[in-house]
Amino acid sequence: MPKKYNIVVRPTPPRYSPIGKFKIEERGESCINCGRCAIACVYDVHKRQEEDLRYMAEPVDYRCKGCFRCVQECPRAALCIRESNEYLLLGDSYWTPEIISKNWYQADTGKIPVSGAGYRGPFSGEGFDSMWTDMSEIVRPTRDGIHGREYISTAVDIGRKLPAIKFDAHAEIASPIPPTLNIPIPIIFNTLPFKRYESVYNAIAKAASYLGTFIIMEPDEWFKSEGNGSSYLIPHISHLTLHTFEADLIKICKMVELEYEENVLSVINEAKMLNPGTIVSVRVPFGDNVEEIVEELTYAGVEAIHLYADINGQTFRKSLTKNAAQPGFIKEMTQDVHRHLVDLKIRDEVTLIVSGGIAMAEHVAKSIICGADLTAIDLPLLFALECRYCKNCLNDSQSCPVELKEVEPPWGAQRIVNLISAWRNQLLEVLGAMGLREVRRLRGEVGRAIFFEDIEKETLDKVLVKGSGVKS
């Protein structure tokens, strides 16, 4: 059995007070500082002042879960809880305030978020919300993979897999073994969507190095600077800069990523000449002809393909997909690409990396169920560093409310490590409940999920057939 992968979590408080969902208001002089609210609250929202224990400190609003225990226990009805207006303005329709705040919590504590008031929202929606993981058909569930009684592997391989191994007369392997990389989690770090600061780069790079994963980056001056090793860096290069300073990077990096272009195969050959042992990934947008492009690249021997959508998971496809009534989301298109390669019997010859709209831990599991080998995340890394998704950094005249450029790399790296640990624990929960002992077995297992579109079609078909008088 391989050595158990472990992520050390350390609570890392935020530099700025996060925006909480609830605002606690005290009603003037009604409070008698009895401390019953502090006794009732299990989330440390209410505490006494450190300098004078006779008086209550200001409530820590962002920790409040809305359970109303403090309101019920207060003998003078001195507390009132309302929803925060500032919280409602966070993010947008996809990166909702709930997603942002829960990523903040996970980066702060390294724990899986729990709501004291329970989940009272809808059980279906757009995108990944129209898909549920299914644990109803379990042969034998594993026993607490998180707590170590059974080992559940979250490791994945990047590179081509041999369909069969051939041996010579001396029982030696005669098949040429293609280069592969093994990473302990099915997550790598994508290029950042907003302004890039050196301090942010340093924090993400330190986290990637500790976690044993990779970070895709533009090969700028920071990339080349002394002390930034190549073991966890993936330069994103083009044919125009292949023979400039990127050539030296290719010689030392374990993996490089190229943007898809007409002459990408010739660029790959040049990169392989510089370093035959490096793994080359091709970055391909989710477009109208993505299945044909992936097929061509796979037959050409490309080891990894990075399929990407926009920041909200919306693809660049204008025509309808095979699995949805509307073109648009990576969930359906990942399934289309995966099934296309399965039909051609070449699925194991390439690694599929999917990115765009990966906002929560459950999205990692759902992407793998749809057919991805691993995912690349971007915006959640900035959330771990307290980003509020205000987009001020797109305008040089506006200042960042949390001063991302002032991030201390050790502090930022630990918060990213905490976030990934919480995400991995949720992935372990899913695998354990399904009875799977490694994440590789989850790839393409659509039988382990329920899709709203399938249920809707099945239900409406029965209703329509019954209503029309036609016997099924």
Sorted by where each starts, the structural domains of the chain and their CATH numbers stand as 22-83 (3.30.70.20), 156-456 (3.20.20.70)
* Residue type (1 letter), 178: P
In 3-state terms, the chain is what percent helix, strand and coil (to 5)? 35, 15, 50
Q: What is the pLDDT of residues 135-192, one digit of tens each?
A: 876 656 665 666 666 788 999 999 988 777 788 888 887 777 888 999 999 999 999 8
Residue 264's alpha-carbon distances to 239, 270, 288, 302, 453, in angstroms, are 8, 10, 19, 10, 37
Looking at per-residue pLDDT, the higher value among 249 and 428 belongs to 428
pTM: 0.90
Q: Does residue 229 surpass a pLDDT of 90?
A: no
For the chain, what percent of residues have pLDDT higher than 90? 54
Count of all residues that appear for the chain in the document: 472
For the chain, what percent of residues have pLDDT higher than 70? 87
Under the banding of pLDDT at 50, 70 and 90, the label for residue 472 is very low
Under the banding of pLDDT at 50, 70 and 90, the label for residue 262 is confident
Beta-bridged to residue 308, according to DSSP, are 285, 355
CB atoms within 10 A of CB 199: 18
| Spatial separation of the C-alpha atoms in residues 369 and 364, rounded to whole Å | 9
Q: What is the pLDDT of residues 286-313, one digit of tens each?
A: 988 999 999 999 999 999 999 999 999 9
Least confident of 59-68, 265-274, 461-470: 461-470
Position 140 scores a pLDDT of: 61
